[in-house]
Structure 1
Amino acid sequence: MIEEDISKTFDGSVGNDIGNVYIDSSKEAEKRMKEYLGQIHNPYCFQCGSTVVRVSFNQEGKELKDLMLKFFSRLNGI
């Protein structure tokens, strides 16, 4: 995995705080996605209030859908 200097990928002044993102739910999925990306700028590095969120994935790791299924199954006691 390539590690990037967060200062190169994140600039809080560009308005990419996820709390300020508005998506019109009446639009079709592709337009909502484009709207989201246009507002958040970088979906892998954004701000949530005063917290910087940086998303990365392990290429050798388990798939997210499998991890989410396991997580929610445990919550439901399955």
Structure 2
Amino acid sequence: MLISHESIGEMMVHTRDISDGGIFVVTNPEQMPPVGTEVRGQVQGMLADAPVVDMRIVRIEEGGIGLQFCN
């Protein structure tokens, strides 16, 4: 997954868990903006371009961050 935000630019991360409400991505949490920040994300490696979605950082823990899909 490609995550982007003005404070980090673009960063490629691996997904660990995904649900209807959000996704957990494996990354160095120290490189990410704080909880509450909205970022954009796009799944990579699909045959067609996946949509870019808005997500909010809702959890930061050792080994990654939890993102909630924004409506």
TM-score range, shorter chain: under 0.3
Hey, which of these two has a bigger chunk of strand by percent? 2
Compare relative contact order (CA 8 Å, sep 6+) and give the higher one, 1 or 2: 2
Taking structure 1 as the reference length, the TM-score comes to 0.24
Taking structure 2 as the reference length, the TM-score comes to 0.25
